[in-house]
């Protein structure tokens, strides 16, 4: 028995890296998995591995940035396995550049793959789940989004990526608030793991390398996957609107923007008064975490 027995998931970008790890862990926990990736050969390799291990999986090559094509991922889940319970938005790319040098194309690519990519399949899945709910079917569905520490606190040279990942965190809060009425939870996870994206830089590849002595593989992507498996399970029905961080054997919840006590003059401030007021607010507040790379 697995924590995801009799559940069906779509996992985007599952042809490699974190997505492939997620797909294999989900399948090992009893989930039927739609392995979504634009690289059909890579997706098929993951599916073959899952089936060889006794699991259930199929390939889907829907373009997550194309709204109409994304519907086919949901159709694949329902046609292949009879239902859908989980959308795990994982797919992503990098177009790193300092802000002063960033091109419009580099900005648009990241917004399309990350932010729009988190919208398209989820939108179609929500239409399906809302329809079930309105027909009196008990829905126990999950949206799991992938944010990043870059989105939570910024990252030098990644203003496009940081902005998109921050948008995903905010999207998750809205989804949780709006979709609970239909039996849908929404959570996001900021992972730290060894993938093609994180090891593209030699220094990162060295730091994240798998230990040769057989000790705990701190940056193994499966360390993140097990948290997502829990979030996709029936056991997590009470967990929604949360942003988790996962690194090695550590899991935590990122605490988002909060309104402080503030200063209330009771009438309009004058510009000449605001330096002292703002200085006081900063002195009394909790400093933000440093931007990555600062």
Query: What is the tens place of the pLDDT at every residue in 157-208?
Result: 999 999 999 999 999 999 999 999 999 999 999 999 877 666 555 556 666 6
What are 74-108's pLDDT values in tens digits?
A: 999 999 999 999 999 999 998 999 999 999 999 99
Kindly report the CA angle at 260 between 187 and 150, in degrees rounded to 5? 40
Whether 232 shows a pLDDT value over 80: the answer reads yes
Angle between helices 117-134 and 159-179 (to 10 degrees): 10
pLDDT top residue among 129 and 203? 129
Is 8-253 a CATH 3.40.50.720 domain? yes
Strand partners, 97: 158
For 232, the token pair is: 């996709």
Contact 44, 71 (CB under 8 A): no
Q: Which of 251, 256, 248 is nearest to 286 (CA)?
A: 256
Q: What is the mean pLDDT of the chain?
A: 93
Is 196 in a helix, a strand, or coil? coil
Closest CA to 150 of 126, 138, 167: 167
With a cut of 80, say whether residue 259 has pLDDT above it.
yes
Residue 116 to residue 113: CA distance in whole angstroms:
6
Local confidence band at 238 (pLDDT 50, 70, 90 cut-offs): very high
Report the distance separating Cα 81 and Cα 9, nearest Å.
10
Provide the pLDDT for residue 1. Answer: 76
The predicted structure's pLDDT at residue 58: 98
Nearest to 60 by CA among 93, 95, 84, 29: 84
pLDDT exceeds 80 at position 223: yes
Could you tell me which of 9, 99, 116, 2 has the C-alpha nearest to residue 60? 9
List, by residue number, the catalytic residues.
148, 161, 165
Q: What is the pLDDT of residue 203?
A: 57
Contact by Cβ (8 Å): 3, 25: no
Burial (CB count <10 Å: 0-12, 13-18, 19+), residue 185: buried
């Amino acid at each position: 028995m697995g924590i995801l027995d009799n559940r069906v998931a779509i996992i985007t970008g599952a042809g490699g890296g974190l997505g492939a790890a997620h797909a294999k862990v989900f399948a090992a926990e009893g989930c039927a998995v739609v392995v979504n990736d634009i690289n059909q050969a890579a997706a098929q390799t993951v599916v073959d591995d899952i089936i060889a291990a006794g699991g259930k999986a199929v390939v889907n090559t829907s373009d997550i940035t194309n709204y109409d094509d994304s519907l086919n991922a949901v159709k694949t889940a329902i046609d292949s396995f009879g239902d859908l319970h989980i959308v795990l938005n994982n797919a992503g790319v990098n177009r790193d550049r300092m802000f002063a040098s960033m091109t419009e194309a580099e900005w648009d690519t990241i917004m399309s793959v990350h932010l729009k990519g988190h919208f398209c399949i989820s939108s179609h899945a929500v239409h399906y789940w809302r329809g079930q709910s309105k027909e009196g079917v008990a829905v126990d569905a999950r949206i799991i989004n992938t944010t990043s520490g870059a989105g939570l606190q910024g990252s030098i040279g990644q203003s496009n990526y940081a902005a998109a990942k921050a948008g995903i965190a905010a999207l998750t809060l809205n989804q949780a608030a709006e979709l609970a009425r239909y039996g849908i939870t929404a959570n996001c996870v900021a992972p730290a793991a060894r993938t093609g994206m994180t090891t593209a830089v030699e220094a990162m590849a060295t730091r994240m390398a798998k230990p040769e002595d057989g000790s705990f593989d701190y940056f193994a992507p499966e360390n993140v996957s097990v948290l997502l498996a829990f979030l996709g399970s029936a056991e997590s029905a009470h967990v929604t609107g949360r942003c988790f961080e996962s690194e090695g054997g550590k899991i935590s919840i990122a605490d988002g923007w909060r309104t402080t006590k503030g200063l209330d003059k009771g009438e309009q401030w004058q510009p000449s008064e605001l330096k002292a007021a703002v200085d006081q607010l900063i002195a009394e507040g909790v400093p933000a975490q440093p931007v990555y790379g600062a």
